[in-house]
Structure 1
């Protein structure tokens, strides 16, 4: 019977060497790819892919999409005193005086649609923005007919006789037009334009800071 042949020592040691080498490579790759919390806090893969976000916040020209921004609204009440009579004719014969209490509202808005490109300046680092806007404008007067009423009315004898045959519809319309003009004048003299400017500034400052701008300056052109 032939005795078994023992493996050559050189081949056996070479195989063990390659097994150990493969295990070492796998261990090093695992340590590089995975951070061992608490044991190897600073061991990271030096060849890992890195991504840096250098994109800027959205362009400020997007505020043009707001178009007409209603920044404030004022409610007003005025008394309109009108009188129609004729010289040298006694008031008890020909006279018409009306006290009309008019109530209405006026909106103050800023027109963003007319902003030009040079009205918006952004710093190179994207942290500062300066915007120049047109001054706030007043919208049309909205006369509230439910809250408007005739407080008192005086008429001469001839006026009463004329009303018996039909009232003049243009007379009432004239009072409404005059009331709207008085309310509009009251709105211009009030703090409504200033309030609209303050509200617009606060809105834009909050909006742009939320987009990443650290300093926002809003100015207005002369009305």
Structure 2
């Protein structure tokens, strides 16, 4: 029988002068690089949020998910409001008995300006407004109410019905023309706003809104006085026309004047 030479186990530590195999160190470097990469991703998320204006972690997650899924990213908006200021307070003694909603489309505004109308532009508008009518109780005095005992009748004399409010609730601009200049589209909107409000006011008056307001006021006042006194009631209206409120007399857009033919002019182009 031949004796087999004894083999000694490999040393756990390298002997003096020997080097560690490169394969072992390469694995450690990959592990370290992976850890630093994960840390970099975590640090990159806040940077992305700042650059793209995301305001919450949920929005970040949604946008990251959308990038990988191919779905369109949702629109995001932020609204910053300021403090509310009380501009004015006015006591009202009005009885509004009729409210009319009106709408008008294709309000075209064409502005000619510049040499050879080089900077001219035009736009269409659609508008919706409300005209209200009723009685101003602030002008009623004690002598406007009389009582006849023989017939047990109250006679109430009221001022003539009037418009109490004119307002534009909505206006939208569309079909803007092409132009070579930087123009003020809001200028066209203001002209359309003014024109639409006057048109709504005049159409409501021609449509008999004051007559309808008088009829409704008579019904309301008669029923109210009769319920309090159990007497007969007669309502009489004055014939003098009431003035228009400020809201029904809008100011023309600043810088613009209207000629006798209804055209608009602005000095200085």
Q: Same fold (TM over 0.5)?
A: yes
Unaligned residue ranges in structure 2 (runs of 5+):
1-91, 242-269
Match of 1:161 among 172, 180, 196: 180
CA contact (8 A) 1:126 1:213 kept: no
Runs of 4+ in 1 over 6 A off after TM superposition: none
Instruction: Return the offset for 1:77.
Output: 0.8
Whether contact under 8 Å (2:159, 2:238) holds in the other structure is: yes
RMSD of Structure 2 on Structure 1 (CA):
2.7
Gaps of 5+ in 1: 1-65
The answer to whether the 8 A contact 2:98-2:132 is kept is: yes
The residue that corresponds to 1:171 in the other structure is 188
* Contact preservation (8 Å) 2:96, 2:164: no
Q: How many residues align?
A: 148
* Equivalent runs, 1:58-97 vs 2, <5 Å: 67-79=93-105, 80-85=107-112, 89=116, 93=118, 95-97=120-122
SS at match of 1:211: helix
Higher relative contact order (CA 8 A, sep 6+): 1
Q: Which residue of 2 aligns with 1:35?
A: none
**Cα distance, 1:119 vs. partner?**
1.9
Residues 201 and 218, structure 1, Cα contact 8 Å, conserved in 2: yes
Q: How does 1:29-178 map to 2 (within 5 A)?
A: 67-79=93-105, 80-85=107-112, 89=116, 93=118, 95-125=120-150, 127-145=152-170, 148-155=171-178, 160-163=179-182, 167=184, 169-178=186-195
